[in-house]
Amino acid sequence: MKQPYTKSGKCGNMVWQRNRYGQICYPAFIPANPRTPAQQAIRGIFAAVSQRWRTLTEEQRLAWIAVAATILSKPRLAQSGPLTGLQLFVKVNVYLAYRGLPQVDLPPLVFRCANPPVPSPDAPRRSRQVPVA
């Protein structure tokens, strides 16, 4: 039985990656940093949003932490876990700042819904069962 490719990311001084021909690994290296204007702009936004976390009140931080605990990170090297409040705050606000939208101090309502919405009875069902006449 063929095993699925599960290793992805950096482990020690090796980088594991999947491509269409299978799994590959190569020694980790530090790429050149060209410091383009676009790179510096996004790094500046990231730094500003990260500093803004310190200006939040304790209640606002606790709200971000509570919502972030319900969101799992992308699995890397078979490891996954809940986000921290800071990680979610930066994830949401860097996206908004990059697009020139106002940043938020409380988590968006989209993240607060723990349970998926109940489908409407009129919504088409996705079952393979053929209706019997």
Return the pLDDT at 73. 87
Return the pLDDT at 120. 59
| 18 strand-pairing partners | 23
As a whole number of angstroms, the distance between CA 86 and CA 76 comes to 20
Strand extents, DSSP E, 12-123: 14-19, 22-27
Per-block mean pLDDT, blocks of 10 residues, the chain (133 long)? 68 89 89 90 95 95 93 83 94 94 87 56 58 58
CB 52 within 8 A of CB 93: yes
Whether the model clears a pTM of 0.85, i.e. scores above it, the answer is no
Return the pLDDT at 9. 86
Return the pLDDT at 69. 92
Question: What is the Cβ-side half-sphere exposure of residue 130, based on CA atoms within 13 angstroms?
Answer: 2
Task: For the chain, give the number of residues.
Answer: 133
Return the pLDDT at 114. 54
Beta-carbon count within 10 A of 89 CB: 28
Return the pLDDT at 96. 95
Residue 61 tokens, joined: 């931080």
